[in-house]
Structure 1
Amino acid sequence: MDTIEEMLSMLLDGAVETLDISPHLHQLAVDKYEEVGAWLAEHGTPDWRIYPQGSFRLGTVVRPNTPTGEYDIDLVCWLPIAKESITQAELKERVGRMLHAFVRWKQRQGHGDGPASCKATRRCWTLGYPDDGFHLDVLPTIPDPAVPPTGILLTDKQLRAWQHSNPIGYATWFQLRSQLDRHLVEAKRHANVADVPDWDVRTTLQRLVQVLKWHAMLYFANDPDNRPPSILITTLAARAYAGEHDLFTGTRNVLHGMGNFVENRHGRWWVPNPAHEEENFADKWNEYPERREAFIRWHTDLSIVLDDLVQLQRKGLHVLATRMSESFTSDAVQRSVQRYGERLRQQTTTGALRMGVGGLLTTTTAGPRVRQHTFHGQHTDPRG
């Protein structure tokens, strides 16, 4: 008989799974960016490289709540050029020129599977594949000599100085945090790795990051400027994750601990990139204080939602689903409920499940009740 935490974990996991990128679409995106990378190596120089970064590399993609529902896939375009020999604008223009040439080449060849468009944004070039349900954001970068071998310097048309990052180093760190779940480690140890690729095995940390991003996407649907960056949510969640295997309990515990990893460095809010200390994922909080306030409101709202769900322990599946649908995508929740209901029916038929007198479940309400967090920061400036 499932506890309330186990039941809510399965409902959340089943719902967020429907918003994840499918294996077919994942492979299609890989094929597309490998094609771009091969063309750039052939027509640019062999040293050019393209590789994924962000949620696509981390396995925490969530389908956007937009009319098109296109997945946003972030890529790094790396050129082995010293920063002294090129400007940000020149790098951005050089990569864009090659990407436009790739689009024209695909069109001349009569290939209907090429990008429909190539547009410049603040930092990237966006290759559109609307018929496939995603677009590729290609970020022009060069090596960062201060952080070898994977540190990068990237362009930003609104900032004069080169920006620092290290997506490969970050992904390695995130993977290590995911492996705190000993259940997953043991499962992989006994699995046939050829039959169960790493990408197909979602860890608890990956799933709970998806839950947090999903709720934030909906919470800020009408206020996108104040929505916390995905990398900020992911970093705080991974910092606070303690290896829980249960998704619901892990999500509540992470919410409880996230504030412990927000620093205040001499009056500036700071959440460092664990793979590059000079990169601050909370930098916008200093420029726009309302964004920190919005983060706190979102954090409090989600904490209340999860607390409310625990209090519905004997109300039945439909009541839980109704409350969950108020804060999450209703169709995704309902699909998860249908799958869970089918599982219960199968267990009842086989005699594996017995109903309690007071409802569907018994419960052990493990996990802390999440307090409201003001995110004051670990290192408070004594001057205030």
Structure 2
Amino acid sequence: MEEIISKLLSGGAEILDIPSDLRDLAISRYEDVGNWLGTTGGPAWLVYPQGSFRLGTVVAPFSPSGGYDIDLVCWRDLAKESTTQDGLKSMVGEMLDEYMRQKNLEGGDGPTKIAASRRCWTLSYPEHDFHLDVLPAIPDREHDEPTSILLTDTSLVRWQHSNPIGYARWFRDQSAEMRSVLEKMARADNVAEVPEYRVRTTLQRLVQVLKWHCGVRFAADPENRPPSILITTLAARAYGGESDLYSATLLAVQRMPQFIEHRDNGAWWVPNPVHESENFADKWNDYPQRRVKFLAWLKDITTLLEDAARMRGQGLEEVVARLGKSFGMDPIEKAARRYGDEMRGLREAGSLSIATGTGLLSTSGGRLVRNHSFYGSHGQ
């Protein structure tokens, strides 16, 4: 049963993942932005991806009009003393506005709109179902890690610390499977390093499954939905190297609470593993109900997975119905159809068996299932 649940979860996460052609298009668009800034503004400009896109943990938006959200850092080589948060954000916004104007004059493939939010500028590409969130940043020269940055935030007085490049390296290091796959690809391509977004390993699928379930669970309560970075960090810390997605997910949600700190000053804390002064659970201290709802969500998904595993002998339709109630029926049903097609192919190849005691189709032993010719008793 666990193997079947893993197939359904993995299939659903694949369906909700950003399509490879759209991923490559988004890469070409942000590289174009970076090249234009470097050519127009000089070499002190740099654009690179961060967040779920960089980590390979993207899931489809949960609102029909949302579009895929691609997070970028727009790095400007400036000393903190030479600018302000408002000044930096305005500078980046003016450059991006000029970029959009130039692309439109050329009749090119630029964004259709630019809009400001609290921390970033959003470049919209509605015809391609994605947008680029561009976060202005400068070097954090007071921190030992050379990839550390300072971020703008119009609602706060102080600069915000971060390190997306260092975080991606840390995330990779949590999975021996990911390191192995990426190293093999690097050797095959004869390059120094392959980006995480090129592969999908158990840890990445685990994070996608949790974000998927969380998005459905908090669809009517978006203000209290746990941030993606909090889920990703706790999941990566809790991941024990399991190879099947069911076990990896269940064990991770059971272990995640032990990585939540309650410090002597009473603050709840989930530190950024590459910048200890950044607290991914900071909002819990201002809004205590968010921590309560986070823990309730963990309990909910734990119960779901345990219940599904106990449905031995009840058939695939019942398992799909149980998972679909919490994950949404559409992706689970699509994953089930893919699973059915896969099993049909294995049966036709003579590699499919019925698991003893459950009656469920399996590839891991049991009574061999004979192929069907569909010609009837009189044959050809």
- Unpaired stretches in structure 1, ≥5 consecutive residues: 365-384
Q: Which residue number in structure 1 is paired with residue 122 of structure 2?
A: 126
Q: Provide the residue aligned with 1:360 in structure 2.
A: 360
- Of the structure 1 ranges 214-223 and 355-364, higher mean CA displacement relative to structure 2 is found in 355-364
Identify the residue that residue 382 of structure 1 maps to in structure 2: none
C-alpha root-mean-square deviation of aligned residues, in Å? 2.2
Q: Deviations over 1:94-121 (max 9, x none)?
A: 000111111111111122x210100000
Return the match for 1:206 from 198, 204, 207: 204
Name the aligned partner's letter for residue 248 of structure 1.
Y
Matched, 1:282 2:277: no
Residue 159 of structure 1 aligns with which residue? 156
Deviation, structure 1 residue 200: 3.8
Q: CA deviation at 1:290?
A: 1.0
Question: Would the alpha carbon gap of residues 201 and 308 (structure 1) be closer, same or farther in structure 2, given more than 3 Å must change?
Answer: same
Q: Which amino acid aligns with 2:169?
A: T
> Is 1:169 matched with 2:169?
no
Shift of residue 295 of structure 1? 0.5
**2:31 pairs with one of 18, 30, 34:** 34
TM-score (norm 2): 0.90
> Is contact 2:353–2:362 with CA below 8 Å preserved after alignment?
no
Amino acid at match of 2:359: G
CA contact (8 A) 1:314 1:361 kept: no
Q: TM-score, normalised by structure 1?
A: 0.89
Q: Quickly say closer, same or farther: Cα 1:257–1:40, change in 2 above 3 A.
A: same
Tell me how far apart the structure 2 counterparts of residues 325 and 301 of structure 1 sit (CA, whole Å): 14
Report the counterpart of residue 263 of structure 2 in structure 1: 265
SS of the aligned residue for 2:72 comes to: strand
CA distance in 2, matches of 1:124, 1:143: 17
Determine if contact 2:352/2:361 at 8 Å carries over to the other structure: no
State how far apart, in whole Å, the 1-side matches of 2:267 and 2:3 are. 40
Could you say which residue in structure 2 is the equivalent of 1:255?
Answer: 253
- Equivalent residue number for residue 232 of structure 1: 230
Whole-Å Cα distance in 2 between the matches of residues 13 and 200 of structure 1? Answer: 17
Shift of 1:339: 1.1
Residue by residue, what CA displacement relative to the aligned partner does 1:316-355 show, whole Å, maximum 9, x if unpaired? 1111111111011312111111111122222233332232
Q: Percent identity?
A: 53
Q: Tell me the secondary structure at the aligned position of residue 318 of structure 1.
A: helix
Aligned residues: 358
The secondary structure found in structure 1 opposite 2:189 is coil
The change in CA–CA distance for 1:187 and 1:285 in structure 2 (over 3 A counts) is closer
* 1:245 counterpart = 2:240: no
Partner residue of 1:87 out of 81, 84, 89: 84
Q: 1:67 corresponds to which residue? A: 64
What residue is the counterpart of 1:142 in the other structure? 138
Out of 105, 110, 113, the position equivalent to 1:114 is 110
- Counterpart-to-counterpart distance in 2, 1:357 and 1:277: 50
The structure-2 alpha-carbon separation of the partners of 1:102 and 1:189, relative to structure 1 and needing over 3 Å to count, comes to: closer
| Cα displacement (A) at 1:274 | 0.4
For structure 2, the 5+ residue unaligned runs are 365-380
